[in-house]
A and B are shown apart, each in its own frame.
Chain A
Amino acid sequence: MRKIKIDKYHIYELFSPLLGVLAAIIVLLIIGVAVGENPAATLKAIYKFTMSTSGRLATVFSVAIPLFISGLAVSIAFRAGVFNIGVEGQYFIGGLVGALAGIYLPLPRIIHIPVVAICAMLGGALWALIPAMLKIGKGVHEVITTIMFNNIALALANYLVNGPLSGRGEVSLEAQTHHIRETAQFGKLNHWFRALGWNIPNHVFMDYSLIIAAIMGILVWLLLFRLRYGFEIRAVGTSTDVSEYAGIRVKRIQLGAFLTSGAIAGLIGLQEIFAIRGFYTYEIAAGLGFDGIAIALIGRNSPLGVIFSSILFAFLTQAGYGLQLYTSVPLAITFVISGVMILFIVVINEIVTRYIRAQRKKEAA
């Protein structure tokens, strides 16, 4: 039997993201001191808003759901060497297409929600299609085209919600669509958790999007690590040249991964649209796509890693609100910390990699 040897270096690699997080927390505390809060008060505010009650803790997990889906979407593209910065636009369009299915299709509950999810995925994939084709067919860098498509998506959603799809006046005078049909609305799963002994208060959204996220997580894991196609994706992401020599059709794989990424991205907004608001508006939370990039990186582009990093980001988001509420640290700090954290994580990762390489060389010598 082959013995699996766990190298101490693997452990270093695994822990390097945590060092980045730690460094970011230290930066946070230093900024806190700079604006006149002592570190203990800062930490206490964070604790109070994220962990002090079961409701607060459950909220962190609830906030993590769309972040997890976003990280998953970015990571599958990353795996194939594609930078999908367009997740942002893809979920605005995916959410819109899903909402259309939820508003206009009269279907029984049992199939309405799956139909909505599939429509959202198609919408997201559709929005990834042109940047993907331009990359594959003409070599236009996807980073720039997807950024342009993000802006186009926002303007388009803005137009549709104000124009042809407007349901203004139904509940409020804000720009929004008509209401989602009863049969498509996402119910809550809080009672499931209550049955398991975790008392999640009713105001927390632990809804069907959790099931969607779980299914997607499992599917992506199966795809990446159990299917030939996933192996090819990983091969392409590691080296396009080697993959080419090995007979893998690199362009087709990248196109597929790009569209899959877009399809998953289409699901990000569902929690807010179908569980929280009950209608679509272009004012759904923005920026989740960019968070997804950080989440995918911190989670090392694996579904399991993305679970942890999305919870970490959700924690950070909630911590930001806590700081705003209980201390004089402004909410803007969450952006600063996100940025600093990504930088620290990638820099520390690089240092660790170099160290390991040097050590290996020394051992080999």
Chain B
Amino acid sequence: MNTSIMVNFLFKGLEMSCPIAFAALGGVFSEKSGVINIALEGFMIVTAFSVVWGAVAFQTIWMGMVFALVAGVLMSLIHAVATITFRVNQIVSGVAINILAVGVGRFLSERVFGQETQSAINPFLFPTVMGINSFAFALIPIAIISWFVLYKTVFGLRLRTVGESPEAADTLGINVYVMRYAGVMLSGLMVGFAGATLYPTKWVNGMTGGRGFIALACMIFGRWHPIGAVLAALLFGYADTFRIMFETMIPIPSQFVMMTPYVLAVVVLAGMVGRARPPAADGIPYEPGE
């Protein structure tokens, strides 16, 4: 195999990993604060639309980025209000948001671009470097910053405390609600990046294709650690890139290749037993004692 294909594979893989990796980082922030977020998929549907919308409307990808980040945060606010303020079951809220997001994506597309299933082509993109969306390279610093914020700052310590033991955090004077809102909104922000790296040329209904769920598996596989989650996402991203680049050379039916990431996710999760421990208060709404 010649080197240019290898180099191409190397960079393409990074680009393909980005949406999963950013979403997985989002999952880490949310769950570290104690809020399960299975709505990542739904967030991504809306942010992937918003990046195209903003870019086309203002004729610059930077506005697309702003739209995506704002959309991600707005979607995450729905989850935050439902689960933190109203202490609704976090999985139920996630399921509802995933359904809602399908509608929001299609509805907005119909209003903005005149058709429900796809947007217009967006010609305003990030510059291409080494044949890929240059924003993909931002994954590396953002992953490191996420690690730094979570493990080396007071904010991160508080966020993690709230996810491990909200009662203790409360006793120490940490506002559990504020920290959890921050965790969930950061997850929305991260999925904003995910949307911007997914495929900013065009939005198509169903384009997220379960990446938000794969991201959840990556988060668990990465043991709720930002760097671990990103590495797991790279595994899936490169597996997917391999599939796309070499599909014609693989002598098995395409449907089996299609299901590989999901089978891989199940196998990986099954093998993680006992070694993956979620934050202690993950999934439990915080109710202040009387």
Partner of B89, one of A149, A155, A346: A346
Task: Verify A140–B273 contact, CB threshold 8 A.
Answer: yes
Q: Which residues 72-86 in B have Cβ within 8 Å of A in the complex?
A: 78, 82, 86
Cβ of B258 within 8 Å of any chain A Cβ, yes or no, is yes
Closest to B265 in A: A148
Residues in chain A near residue B106, CB distance under 8 A: 330-332, 335
Task: Verify A333–B256 contact, CB threshold 8 A.
Answer: no
Task: Verify B99–A140 contact, CB threshold 8 A.
Answer: no
Known: A140-B269, A159-B256, A332-B106. A294 touches B99 (CB 8 A): yes
Task: Verify B110–A332 contact, CB threshold 8 A.
Answer: yes
A275-310 Cβ-contact flags toward B at 8 Å (1 or 0): 000000000000000100110010000000000000
Query: Binding site of B, secondary structure by majority: helix, strand, loop or mixed?
Result: helix
Cβ of A151 within 8 Å of any chain B Cβ, yes or no, is yes
Q: How far is the CB of B74 from chain A (nearest CB, A)?
A: 14
Cβ of A35 within 8 Å of any chain B Cβ, yes or no, is yes
Q: Can you give 24 contacting A-B residue pairs, CB < 8 Å?
A: A31-B107, A35-B111, A130-B266, A134-B270, A143-B91, A144-B265, A145-B266, A147-B210, A149-B262, A155-B256, A155-B258, A155-B259, A155-B262, A158-B258, A159-B255, A331-B116, A335-B99, A335-B100, A336-B104, A338-B99, A338-B103, A339-B99, A343-B96, A351-B86
CB within 8 Å: A-B pair count: 137
Q: How far is the CB of B218 from chain A (nearest CB, A)?
A: 11
Q: Which residues in A have some Cβ–Cβ distance to B below 8 Å?
A: 31, 35, 83, 85, 130, 134, 138-141, 143-145, 147-149, 151-152, 155-156, 158-159, 162-163, 290, 293-294, 297, 330-340, 342-343, 346-347, 350-351
Residues in chain B near residue A346, CB distance under 8 A: 82, 86, 88-89, 92-93, 96
Task: Verify B253–A83 contact, CB threshold 8 A.
Answer: no
Q: Which residues 247-263 in B have Cβ within 8 Å of A in the complex?
A: 253, 255-256, 258-259, 262-263
Q: Which residues in B have some Cβ–Cβ distance to A below 8 Å?
A: 38, 78, 82, 86-89, 91-93, 95-107, 110-111, 116, 210, 213, 216-217, 220, 253, 255-256, 258-259, 262-263, 265-266, 269-270, 272-274
Task: Verify A151–B273 contact, CB threshold 8 A.
Answer: no
Task: Verify B210–A350 contact, CB threshold 8 A.
Answer: no
Residues in chain A near residue B253, CB distance under 8 A: 159, 163
Partner of B88, one of A134, A162, A294, A350: A350
Closest to A34 in B: B111
With A and B bound together, what is the CA distance between A35 and B111 in angstroms? 8
Residues in chain A near residue B263, CB distance under 8 A: 148, 152
Q: How far is the CB of A154 from chain B (nearest CB, A)?
A: 8
Known: A156-B255, A347-B88. A144 touches B216 (CB 8 A): yes
Task: Verify A155–B266 contact, CB threshold 8 A.
Answer: no
With A and B bound together, what is the CA distance between A174 and B216 in angstroms? 35
Q: How far is the CB of B248 from chain A (nearest CB, A)?
A: 17
Q: How far is the CB of B239 from chain A (nearest CB, A)?
A: 14
With A and B bound together, what is the CA distance between A151 and B264 in angstroms? 12
Closest to A328 in B: B110
Residues in chain A near residue B255, CB distance under 8 A: 155-156, 158-159, 162
Task: Verify A332–B266 contact, CB threshold 8 A.
Answer: no
Task: Verify B107–A85 contact, CB threshold 8 A.
Answer: no
Closest to A324 in B: B116
Partner of A144, one of B87, B100, B213: B213
Residues in chain A near residue B274, CB distance under 8 A: 139
Task: Verify A336–B111 contact, CB threshold 8 A.
Answer: no
New A-B contacts (13) at CB < 8 Å, excluding given A330-B116, A350-B86? A134-B266, A140-B273, A144-B220, A151-B262, A290-B95, A290-B98, A330-B110, A331-B116, A336-B104, A338-B99, A339-B100, A346-B89, A346-B96
Q: How far is the CB of B87 from chain A (nearest CB, A)?
A: 6
Task: Verify B217–A144 contact, CB threshold 8 A.
Answer: yes
